Amino acid sequence: MKKLKFQTPTGMHDILPEDERYFQEIYKVVKEIADFYRFQKIETPILEDTELFSRGIGMTTDIVQKEMFTFKTRGGDFLTLRPEGTAPIIRAYFQHGFKNLPQPVKLWYFSPFFRYERPQLGRFRQFWQFGFEVIGEESSVIDAQLILIFSNILKELGFQNLVLKINSLGDSNCRPYYRKVLTSYFKSKVNVLCQDCRRRLKENPLRILDCKEERCQQIVSQAPQILDYLCEACKAHFKEVLEFLEDLGISYYLDPFLVRGLDYYTRTVFEIFEEGEKGKAVGALAGGGRYDNLAKIIGDEEIPAAGGAGGIERIIILLKEKKMKPPVEKKPKVFLAQIGGEARKKALKLLEVFREAKIPVAESLGRNSLKSQMRVADALGVKYTLVLGQKEAIEGKILVKDMISGKQKIIPLKRVVSFIKKKI
């Protein structure tokens, strides 16, 4: 087949009507849950100052080093297509004085994000996330409730074999020492590490824990574990999170090497997967954690916070794999046909009366022949077809045909909406 001249950019895709139904279904579930837990919706610009991300997400992360869409504006500013939603929300929190509101401030979003990644299954350059952020509260109960929220959403969407991976990354109290221990461990193995990890060793050894290279993973599996180096406060916080989860009946898998791809995390980090081959191939359906230091970087003030985000395309890939279809949209029960110029004018107006009465009506206004219009009505399986002929249009009448019994009668045009209302 000849290649079209214009196609979507690499790693980006159109959301076609069929996928849009999945998006709508996910949106509905997420919104219902967000409303129940009293989160408020927020939408930030798609572009932000590059520095918000490079400092917020961390200079040593793959996202900042390799994956940002950054450009210089005509005015000379550096802007970046948002690769994630947490840093912008913390920016908005300070910009709009949300710290003067009762805390915590609970926000949610459903938006597109951009990362210059190598496209593969479940990995795109433009993708959608729904996310939840709780800003201004350090209690461990929030961490557990966020995990509960993501697990509720995924369960509601039909996922039954979810696996929760969880870890604690400590805080600025205990992590520096762990970092030192880790550095000396990896230094002793530097010859085996991949090129990227040798650089990571100098910049941020924790990033090595995230490396996907086989040879690095082998070394990582023997590395010192952060859980053994947590300070008392972080240990107690993490223990509480796990106790809440146990109490909620949410099983978890302690992954001592889970660090996540963003540097802003402190204490709890988590990821949720669906079991099975495809689930593994697609990767985490949702991930998040606590980020008590991010506010300091962005707004110069210590404000504890936690949150998470789910990947909508990944969820849809797995829903399709499971052959779980979103509900089909309701079809109209009425079809309006017209024959002739005068009737077409009246039909165009009559449709508006139905719209105001909130009765869905299908039509095929561009067609002239009654036969072809009846074919459309049949294909839709409507209960009633209304036919406005030239004569009826002039006399202010309309023909109503019951499509099941085949019976038909002529009634005044003025009464047609109330007549249909009674019938359907």
Give rounded-to-5 percent helix, strand, coil for the chain.
45, 20, 35
Under the criterion CB under 6 A, does residue 270 sit at the interface with ligand HAM?
Answer: no
Residue with the shortest CB distance to ligand HAM: 311
Under the criterion CB under 6 A, does residue 122 sit at the interface with ligand HAM?
Answer: yes
Under the criterion CB under 6 A, does residue 288 sit at the interface with ligand HAM?
Answer: yes
- Candidate ranges 127-135, 195-203, 373-381, 396-404; the one touching ligand HAM (CB under 6 A): 127-135
Give the list of residues 6+ apart from residue 313 with CB closer than 8 angstroms, or none. Answer: 122, 124, 127, 128
Q: Give 85 or 205: the residue with its C-beta nearer to ligand HAM.
A: 85
Least distance CB 309 / ligand HAM (angstroms): 4
Residues 132-161, mask of contacts with ligand HAM (x by CB under 6 A): -x----------------------------
Q: How large is the greatest C-alpha to C-alpha distance in the chain, in angstroms?
A: 95
- Candidate ranges 169-177, 219-227, 288-296, 394-402; the one touching ligand HAM (CB under 6 A): 288-296
- The CA-to-CA distance between both ends of the chain, in Å, stands at 48
In the list 314, 333, 346, 401, the residue contacting ligand HAM (rule: CB under 6 A) is 314
Q: What residue type is assigned to position 256 of the chain?
A: P
In the list 88, 205, 304, 308, the residue contacting ligand HAM (rule: CB under 6 A) is 308
Rounded CA-CA distance 160/272 in Å is: 12
Under the criterion CB under 6 A, does residue 53 sit at the interface with ligand HAM?
Answer: no
Under the criterion CB under 6 A, does residue 210 sit at the interface with ligand HAM?
Answer: no
Q: Give 158 or 396: the residue with its C-beta nearer to ligand HAM.
A: 158
Least distance CB 229 / ligand HAM (angstroms): 23
Instruction: Find the helix packing angle between 195-203 and 175-187, rounded to 10°.
Output: 140
CA dist 106 → 99, 170, 216 (Å): 12, 23, 39
Rounded CA-CA distance 32/385 in Å is: 36
Rounded CA-CA distance 10/15 in Å is: 15
- Candidate ranges 23-31, 301-309, 320-328, 414-422; the one touching ligand HAM (CB under 6 A): 301-309
Residue 327 has, within 13 A of its CA and on its CB side, a CA count of 9
Q: Give 308 or 332: the residue with its C-beta nearer to ligand HAM.
A: 308
Rounded CA-CA distance 230/233 in Å is: 8
In the list 279, 307, 326, 389, the residue contacting ligand HAM (rule: CB under 6 A) is 307
Measured at the alpha carbon of residue 377, what is the angle toward residues 372 and 378, in degrees to the nearest 5?
A: 95
Rounded CA-CA distance 253/165 in Å is: 5
Q: Give 131 or 332: the residue with its C-beta nearer to ligand HAM.
A: 131
Q: What residue type is assigned to position 175 of the chain?
A: R
Q: Give 220 or 315: the residue with its C-beta nearer to ligand HAM.
A: 315
- Candidate ranges 27-35, 161-169, 310-318, 399-407; the one touching ligand HAM (CB under 6 A): 310-318
Number of residues that bind ligand HAM (CB under 6 A): 28
In the list 55, 99, 123, 383, the residue contacting ligand HAM (rule: CB under 6 A) is 123
Q: Give 125 or 401: the residue with its C-beta nearer to ligand HAM.
A: 125
Rounded CA-CA distance 70/82 in Å is: 9
Pairing of strands 105-114, 126-135: antiparallel
Residue 217 has, within 13 A of its CA and on its CB side, a CA count of 5
Q: Which alpha helices (DSSP H) does 188-272 contain, by range?
A: 195-203, 214-221, 232-248
DSSP 323-376: T-PPPPPPPPSEEEEE-SHHHHHHHHHHHHHHHHTT--EEE-TT---HHHHHHH
Least distance CB 206 / ligand HAM (angstroms): 16
DSSP 81-134: E-S-SHHHHHHHHHHTTGGGSSSSEEEEEEEEEE-----BTTB-SEEEEEEEEE
Under the criterion CB under 6 A, does residue 48 sit at the interface with ligand HAM?
Answer: no
In the list 134, 154, 209, 286, the residue contacting ligand HAM (rule: CB under 6 A) is 286
Under the criterion CB under 6 A, does residue 170 sit at the interface with ligand HAM?
Answer: no
Residues 90-119, mask of contacts with ligand HAM (x by CB under 6 A): -------------------------x-x--
Under the criterion CB under 6 A, does residue 86 sit at the interface with ligand HAM?
Answer: yes
In the list 56, 85, 170, 304, the residue contacting ligand HAM (rule: CB under 6 A) is 85
The site for ligand HAM (CB under 6 A) is made up of: 84-86, 115, 117, 122-124, 127, 129, 131, 133, 261-262, 284-289, 291, 307-311, 313-314
